[in-house]
DNA sequence: CGGCATCCATTTTGATACTG
DNA sequence: CAGTATCAAAATGGATGCCG
C-alpha cells in the first residue's frame, strides 16, 4: 500500500502557512507559473520546468488536482490531447506569483549565464514590470513574434493585459529571436540598442514601441 | 569538510524561479513572515515556527543572512541579546507574503482544530483582509490587548497600518484572550457575537469598532 | 509521444540529545 | 538562551523501463 503524499502540513492556522501547505513544496509554484499562461500538456510542462523529474511532475499534478488548484482538461479538435489547466482557485494565485516576480526582479541575483529561459515567461514578467502610473491615457497594443512563440501585450489607459497568442490589428509587431527577446526590458537604452542593432525588428511606430517599453520598469 | 548548503537552484532566468531560489525552501517564507512583525530572537522564532528543527532554523537564518534578506542585530538596553531582523530586501517581501495570505484566506482549507496559532499573526492577516474601498473617509485607531500580545491597527482614509506594540490614545481598546482573538474576523456577525458574549471587551465606541471590523473582509 | 512505476544515490528534514 | 551534534526518516533526483 502506498502513501498518498500526505502533504506535510505546517500545522499553523496562519493563512500564509495554509497557503504554503498547498503549494509550498519544491516545483509547485513554478508549475502554477506555467499554467498561468494557459493550459499545458504534460510533456510541455516537463520541458518548461527544465529538468523536473517525471515522477515529481506527476506527483505535483495529482496533489494540485486533489487540492482543487489544477484540473485535467481535454484539448479541443486539433490537439485532441489532455492537458492541465488552473481552476479559478489556481488562477487566483496570479497576484501572489506576480508579487514574487516583482521581488525577484528587484532583489534576486542576476540569472546565471547557463540559466534556462523561455519566451513565454515574459508574459508574467511584463505584468510584474508594468507601472500603471506611466500609462495614464496610453493605449498601445503589441504583438511579439519570438521564433515559434506568439505573445501579445495591450496597454489600455492604465491597465495591462498580456498572454500567449495573437491579437487582431496590433499597433506594433515585434519580431526577434529568443536571445534578443531575453535582453528586452523596459530600459529605453536597451530597447534603442536592440532596435538599432537590428536584433529586434518592429513593424509600426517606433515611438509607440518606446512608449510601450517605458511603462515596464523593474522598480514598482 | 562540510558543504555550505549550496542552495539548489532551479537554474531558470525567470524572476519567480530566482525569487524561489532565495526563499523557496521549506520554512523560509514562514521565517520571513515572523520577521515582518519586527526583529525576533532565535528562541522566539523557534517557538513561533512551531516545531521547526533547531538545526534547520540555524541553517535558514545563515542562508538568508548570506543572501542579504536577514541580518543579525543587537537588541538594545533591556534585552541585551542578539536578534534577527529583515534587511530592506527582506521587508520588500511583505507585498508577496500578503498576497499569499490573501490566497490562503480565500482558498486554503480551514485550519485544523489542533493547528497552532499566535496572536501576532493577525498583524499580517489584518493587512491581508483590509479593503481600502470600505475605508474611504474613515479614521479609526484600535489597540488590541491579547494576553501578553499588544497589537495596534490604524485606518486612515483608505490606508491601513498595523504592528506590534502600543499607540497613544487609540479610539478603541480591545481586550480579549487568544482564543477569542482567533475567532475575530471582519464578519459583523462574528464581531457582534464576540462582543455580546463578553469574549472580547472594548473600551470606546462599539460603533467605531464595528466600522473598523467591516473594513476587514476575506474576499479582496 | 504521454504518462506513470521502479530502483537507487543523494539531499533535506525531523527527533532527540547535548553544550557553552 | 542560543545554538551544535547525531542519527533516522523522508523527499528528491536520475536512470530506466513499461504500456497504450
> DSSP letters along chain A, please?
-----------B-SHHHHHHHHH-STTHHHHHHHHHTS-B-HHHHHHHTTS--HHHHHHHHHHHHHTTSEEEEE--TTT--EEEEE-HHHHTTHHHHHHHHHHHHHHSPPPPTT-B--TTHHHHHHHHHB-GGGGTT-EEEEEEEETTEEEEEEEETTEEEEEES--SS-SEEEEE-HHHHHH--S-HHHHHHHHHTTSEEEES-HHHHHHHHHTB-S--
**Length B5 CA → C19 C1' (Å):** 24
From the CB of residue A13, how many other CB atoms can be counted at a distance below 10 Å? 19
Contact with chain A for residue B29, Cβ under 8 A: yes
Cβ-based contacts under 8 A for chains A and B:
176
Residues 53-82 of A, Cβ under 7 A from nucleic strand D: 53-56, 59
Hey, what's the cell of A83?
A: 492537458
In the structure, what pLDDT confidence band is assigned to residue A5 with cuts at 50, 70 and 90? Answer: very low
Are B124 and B172 in the same domain? yes
Hey, what's the cell of A113?
A: 549565464
pLDDT score of B51 more than 90:
no
Q: Are B39 and B73 in contact (CB under 8 A)?
A: yes
3 state DSSP class of B71 = strand
Contact with chain A for residue B12, Cβ under 8 A: yes
Q: Are B46 and B84 in contact (CB under 8 A)?
A: no
Handedness of CA A100, A104, A105, A111 (dihedral sign): negative
pLDDT at residue number B77: 67
Name the residue closest to the C1' of D14 by its CA: A53
Q: Please indicate, yes or no, if residue B219 is contained in any of the structural domains.
A: no
pLDDT at residue number A15: 96
- Closest CB from A102, A103, A116 relative to B11: A116
Percent of chain A with pLDDT over 90: 84
Q: Please indicate, yes or no, if residue A97 is contained in any of the structural domains.
A: no
Q: Please indicate, yes or no, if residue A104 is contained in any of the structural domains.
A: no
Are B60 and B138 in the same domain? no
Q: Name the residue among B141, B128, B127 with its Cα closest to residue B209.
A: B141
Q: Supply the mean pLDDT for chain B.
A: 93
Shortest CA gap A26–chain B (Å): 7
Mutation target for A interface from B7, B11, B19, B22: give the one with most A CBs within 10 A.
B19
Are A86 and A129 in the same domain? no
CATH number at residue A58: 1.10.10.10
Contact with chain A for residue B53, Cβ under 8 A: no
Higher-confidence residue of A2 and B14: namely B14
A36 backbone φψ class: left, alpha, beta (φ>0; ψ -120 to 50)? alpha
Hey, what's the cell of B116?
A: 497552532
In the structure, what pLDDT confidence band is assigned to residue A117 with cuts at 50, 70 and 90? Answer: very high
Are A141 and A79 in the same domain? no
Number of domains in chain A: 2
pLDDT score of A114 more than 70:
yes
Q: Please indicate, yes or no, if residue B86 is contained in any of the structural domains.
A: yes
Query: How confident is the model over A169-188, as a mean pLDDT?
Result: 94
pLDDT score of A1 more than 50:
no
pLDDT score of B80 more than 90:
no
Are B79 and B126 in the same domain? no
Interchain CB distance below 8 Å, A12 and B117: yes
CATH number at residue B161: 3.30.1050.10
Are B78 and B131 in the same domain? no
Are B206 and B142 in the same domain? yes
From the CB of residue A51, how many other CB atoms can be counted at a distance below 10 Å? 11
Domain boundary among B92, B111, B140: B92
**Length A43 CA → C1 C1' (Å):** 8
Q: Please indicate, yes or no, if residue B74 is contained in any of the structural domains.
A: yes
Q: Please indicate, yes or no, if residue B199 is contained in any of the structural domains.
A: yes
Q: Supply the mean pLDDT for chain A.
A: 92
- Closest CB from B97, B101, B115 relative to A11: B115
State the virtual CA torsion across A138, A144, A149, A154 in degrees, nearest 10. 10
Are B196 and B125 in the same domain? yes
pLDDT at residue number B113: 87
Q: Please indicate, yes or no, if residue A219 is contained in any of the structural domains.
A: no
pLDDT score of A220 more than 60:
no
Are B129 and B209 in the same domain? yes
pLDDT score of B3 more than 60:
no
Residue window 84-143, chain A: list those with CB within 8 Å of chain B: 89, 92-93, 95-109, 111-112, 114-118, 121, 124-125, 128
Are B154 and B72 in the same domain? no
pTM higher than the cut 0.85 = yes
Encode pLDDT of B133-182 as tens digits. Answer: 999 999 999 999 999 999 999 999 899 999 999 999 999 999 999 999 99
- For residue A171, give its domain range: 119-214
Shortest CA gap B203–chain A (Å): 27
The C-alpha atoms of residue A102 and residue A10 are separated, in whole angstroms, by 26
Are A61 and A136 in the same domain? no
Shortest CA gap A56–chain B (Å): 14
Are A76 and A162 in the same domain? no
Q: Please indicate, yes or no, if residue A150 is contained in any of the structural domains.
A: yes
Amino acid at each position: 500500500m502506498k502513501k498518498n503524499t500526505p502533504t506535510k502540513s505546517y500545522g499553523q492556522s496562519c493563512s500564509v502557512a495554509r497557503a504554503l501547505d498547498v503549494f509550498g513544496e519544491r516545483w509547485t509554484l513554478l508549475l502554477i507559473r506555467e499554467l498561468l499562461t494557459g493550459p499545458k500538456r504534460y510533456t510541455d510542462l516537463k520541458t518548461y520546468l527544465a529538468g523536473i523529474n517525471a515522477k515529481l511532475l506527476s506527483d505535483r499534478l495529482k496533489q494540485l488536482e486533489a487540492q482543487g488548484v489544477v484540473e485535467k482538461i481535454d484539448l479541443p479538435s486539433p490537439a485532441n490531447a489532455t492537458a492541465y489547466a488552473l481552476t479559478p482557485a489556481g488562477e487566483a494565485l496570479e497576484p501572489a506569483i506576480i508579487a514574487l516576480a516583482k521581488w525577484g526582479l528587484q532583489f534576486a541575483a542576476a540569472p546565471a549565464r547557463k540559466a534556462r529561459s523561455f519566451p513565454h515567461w515574459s508574459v508574467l514578467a511584463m505584468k510584474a514590470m508594468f507601472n500603471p502610473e506611466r500609462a495614464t491615457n496610453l493605449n498601445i497594443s503589441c504583438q511579439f513574434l519570438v521564433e515559434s512563440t506568439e505573445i501579445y501585450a495591450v496597454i489600455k489607459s492604465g491597465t495591462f493585459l498580456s498572454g500567449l497568442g495573437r491579437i487582431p490589428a496590433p499597433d506594433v509587431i515585434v519580431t526577434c529571436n529568443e536571445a534578443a527577446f531575453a535582453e528586452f526590458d523596459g530600459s529605453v537604452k536597451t530597447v534603442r540598442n536592440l532596435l538599432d542593432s537590428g536584433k529586434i525588428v518592429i513593424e509600426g511606430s517606433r515611438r509607440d514601441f518606446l512608449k510601450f517599453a517605458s511603462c515596464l520598469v523593474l522598480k514598482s
